[in-house]
Amino acid sequence: MFKKVDDSRITISELMLPSHSNFSGKIHGGYILNLMDQIAFACASKHSKAYCVTASVDTVDFLNPIEVGELVTMKASVNYVGNTSMVIGIRVEAEHIQTGRTKHCNSSYFTMVAKDDNGNSVEVPGLILNDKNEVKRFLKAIKRKKTKLHRIKEFEHADFSHHKYNEELIKHKVKIELPEQLD
């Protein structure tokens, strides 16, 4: 079975209240992450017709602060599907209600896994890509997955040594003082 990206696309909007703000008066990033997790769940569940759990969150960059009184709109779509997982792309925008000015505040990628009533992973429908942007998003998700696997392989193997990275480390603001047995 295959489903179109549009079949599970979700948009939510919420007015930002003073109770959502942090100590500096901006909307708390944790509150925004919570909303993003909710829309990722809704989008993934709509696509898979199953309960979904968050497996990972990739690339959370807070680009612009969100102010109290702004209308935040989040748009979510399935960017990639595996056997039991989906990558949900989320775009966060804030609109100043009086001026109508909007700003891009965040984009992120949530990997969600479909589960049955016993907590076992279940297969998700394939994805029908209908335009160039959907194809690019799918390919970018594949690239992020490959990069992550490469990074894990490079740094998590048993014979890892930081010595082959010394030249790279010297370029950055770091001082290495490991006990000799960890060297």
In this predicted structure, the answer to whether residue 157 has a pLDDT above a threshold of 90 is no
Long-range contacts of 15-20 (CB under 8 A, 24+ apart): 15/69, 15/70, 15/71, 15/72, 16/66, 16/67, 16/68, 16/69, 16/70, 16/71, 16/72, 16/94, 17/68, 18/68, 20/68
The pLDDT assigned to 113 comes to 98
The pLDDT assigned to 179 comes to 84
Q: Average per-residue pLDDT in the chain?
A: 94
Superfamily of domain 2-129: Hotdog Thioesterase (3.10.129.10)
The pLDDT assigned to 105 comes to 97
The pLDDT assigned to 183 comes to 53
Provide the whole-model pTM.
0.90
In tens, the pLDDT along 102-152 reads: 999 999 999 999 999 999 999 999 999 999 999 999 999 999 999 999 989
Instruction: Kindly list the domain boundaries of the chain, sorted by start residue.
Output: 2-129
User: Which residues face 54 on adjacent strands?
Assistant: 112
Determine the Cα angle at 66 with ends 61 and 70, to 5°.
145
The pLDDT assigned to 74 comes to 98
